[in-house]
Amino acid sequence: MTPLRMVIFGPPGSGKGTQAKLVSELYGIPHISTGDILREEVERGSDLGRMAESYMSRGLLVPDEVVIGIVRQRLMREDCRPGFILDGFPRTLRQAEELDRILGELGWRLDVVVNLVVSEEEVLRRITLRRVCSVCGEIYHLESNPPKRPSVCDRCGGRLYQRDDDTEETVRERLRVYRAQTEPVLRYYRERGLVRDVDGNPPIEEVFEEIKRLISSIKGPI
Ligand code: ADP
Ligand code: ADP
Ligand code: ZN
C-alpha cells in the first residue's frame, strides 16, 4: 500500500487513542499522540514536562510552539516514511497550518481526517471510567472495555492508573476548550475535503471496521 497519512479527530474521550492504536498495528505505521508524548515528559520530570503539566492539569492547551516542535521532530524520523496516524494533533488552527507547512517541506500531504462523532454525555461517561496502563499505554474502560484482573494490564501486567486530568471538572473544561479552539480545525479540513465523519458510539470493533472500510476506499486494500 502507498503511505497512509491520517489524523484521527474528535473530542476528548471519543476513542481516538483506542482506534489509533488499532490502525497503527494493522497498517504498521507509528501512532503519534501528542498527549502521550507530553505525559512521558511530565513523568520524566523534564523542564518541558513541568511546563506542560501546568496547562494539562487545568484542561488547557499546551502552547502551540511547544507541540508543533514536538510533532515536527517526530515526523522527521525514518519510521514515518510508510505513513503515520496523528492523535490529538492538530488542536488549533495554527497547529493545522503549521502541519501543512511541515508536510509540504517533506513533500507529503494528508490522506484523510477521520472525525469520531460522539455525544458529550457519552464522552463524560467514557473519560471518568477510563484507565490507562502505566507501562504500555493500553487503554481500558471499567465498564465497556474492562481489564481481566482489576487494575492489571491484560497485555503486559502493568499497573493501571487514572489520568490526573480525567476528573469530571477538568473534562468539562477540556470540552469547552475543544469547542472553542479545536472545532475550527474541523472546518479547516472540511473546506479541503479531507474529513470523513465516523459514528464513534458503537462498540470499539465496529468503529474500527468502519475506519478500515474508509481507509480501503481511499487507499485500496492493504
Ligand atoms: P481519546 O483518545 O479520544 O481521549 P480513548 O481512546 O482514550 O479516547 O477512549 C476514552 C475511553 O472510552 C476509554 O476508557 C476507552 O476504553 C473507551 N472507549 C473507546 N472507544 C469506545 C467505544 N467505541 N465504546 C465504548 N467505550 C470506548
Ligand atoms: P484527550 O484525547 O483525552 O483530550 P490527550 O491525551 O490528547 O487527551 O491530551 C491531554 C492534554 O495534553 C490536553 O488536555 C492538553 O493539555 C495537552 N495536549 C495534547 N495534545 C495537545 C495539542 N496538540 N496542543 C496543545 N495541547 C495538547
Ligand atoms: Zn500494559
> pLDDT at position 221, please?
81
- Told to judge if 44 belongs to the known catalytic residues of this protein, a careful annotator would answer no
Please give the single-letter amino acid code of residue 37.
Answer: I
For the CA of 89, the closest atom of ligand 2 is 23
Give the DSSP H or E segment for 165: none
Listing from the earlier edge strand, what are the strands of the sheet with 195-199? 31-33, 83-87, 4-9, 112-117, 195-199
> pLDDT at position 74, please?
98
> pLDDT at position 1, please?
76
Residue pair 66/51 in contact (Cβ under 8 Å)? The answer is: yes
pTM, entire model:
0.97
In angstroms, rounded to a whole number, what is the distance separating the alpha carbons of residues 220 and 222?
7
- Candidates 222, 159, 216, 208; CA nearest to 21 is 208
> pLDDT at position 57, please?
96
CB under 6 Å to ligand 1: residues? Answer: 10, 12-18, 126-127, 130, 139-141, 144-145, 203-204, 207
pLDDT, tens digit only, all 222 positions of the chain: 799 999 999 999 999 999 999 999 999 999 999 999 999 999 999 999 999 999 999 999 999 999 999 999 999 999 999 999 999 999 999 999 999 999 999 999 999 999 999 999 999 999 999 999 999 999 999 999 999 999 999 999 999 999 999 999 999 999 999 999 999 999 999 999 999 999 999 999 999 999 999 999 999 887
Three-state SS for 8-63 is EECCCCCCHHHHHHHHHHHHCCCEEEHHHHHHHHHHHCCHHHHHHHHHHCCCCCCC
> pLDDT at position 220, please?
86
Q: Which of 42, 125, 127, 174 to mutate to test the pocket of ligand 2 (most atoms within 8 A of CB)?
A: 174
Residue among 21, 91, 131, 196 flagged as catalytic: 91
Residue pair 9/185 in contact (Cβ under 8 Å)? The answer is: yes
